[in-house]
Structure 1
Amino acid sequence: MRIFMTLVPACLLVAGCSSEQGNAEENNSDTGMTAAARSGVPAVAEAYRPSFDEALRKAGEGTSPSGACAGVVGQATTVLNNADAAAQDRADAIAALDACYVRSMARFVDTTLSIENPGPQQCISLLRALPVHRSSLGSFFEGTGEDVAGYDKRLADLVGEKVRSACPDNANTILGG
């Protein structure tokens, strides 16, 4: 009887997941979304993918992604500073900036604060990483038409609550506020 009570819910779960996965693949095949986009990873153009993937990997390991993002940001801002760049190239550059500057750093913050009861060590890690991320990468935005303050706000919107909860005394410095 115990085996039956375990097998029935497991079978229903597998059947439900299979159905949902099929529906998701069916819906996404029409939109042309990549596997990365479906998995929750921001979609970036192939030209930015190697550096962006490295940034996400580092962020997921609890290492600041700023160094890996420097390649993405440098490449993207070069495109944005080129008045002759095609509209699609500009759109790809903006998407890559947002993905690396905002999303990869948000992943780093999430990873850093994901331990049970984050404390001073995690706050120090954020204090070392976020101001440097903003100042070093943010300086590339000059002349691109992109507003670094907008990127900083999106990042703060994504991680602000967690940072304020875990590091109340340093939250403003960490978040740039």
Structure 2
Amino acid sequence: TNQAALTTIANSKAVELARIEAEAKRQAEEAAAQKQAEADAKKAAEKAQQEQTQTNVNQNTSTNQSVSKPSTTTPSTSQPAPSVEETPDKPTSTGKVLYMESTAYSYTETGSSYYTALGIDLRQNSQVVAVDPNVIPLGTLVEVEGYGIALAADTGGAIKGNILDVHLGSVEACRQWGRRFNVKVTILD
């Protein structure tokens, strides 16, 4: 009888081990499927964000291309309109040059965000300027005298009219930039 009891216990143990192994395998498969679903969802969200950013850039670029030459009427705001000069001999630009006031900002400033109005991460792509979209449409490439080529990808509460805010890597660099007047800004293709 002891032998029969031991055999029954051994069989029960084998059945229980098989059940535990099957349950562990099922849980591992579920965890892997959930992890894959999360990875797929993250990739889809990143792709959607990239497509949205590209759509915004394309819309802004097409809007920029369809804008006619500025009219000679005086704007109703108190900000003076930026001065414009035509330079048709430069094939890499649209020929539009603005002379603007320039200040600087940095994502390292306390309370600042890493992301621009167009969703660009300033930690990865820092060659960005903040503009008034009524003067320079978002998504436009510009060349700023003393700064270089940058993407107009941000806005700011104090950036109204003919003011441009260049992004720099540190608060100290912003202090060194200071406030500049009559900075030449060329609109690029």
TM superposition score normalised by structure 1: 0.30
Higher RCO (Cα < 8 Å, 6 or more apart): 2
TM superposition score normalised by structure 2: 0.28
- Rg larger in structure: 2
More helix by share: 1
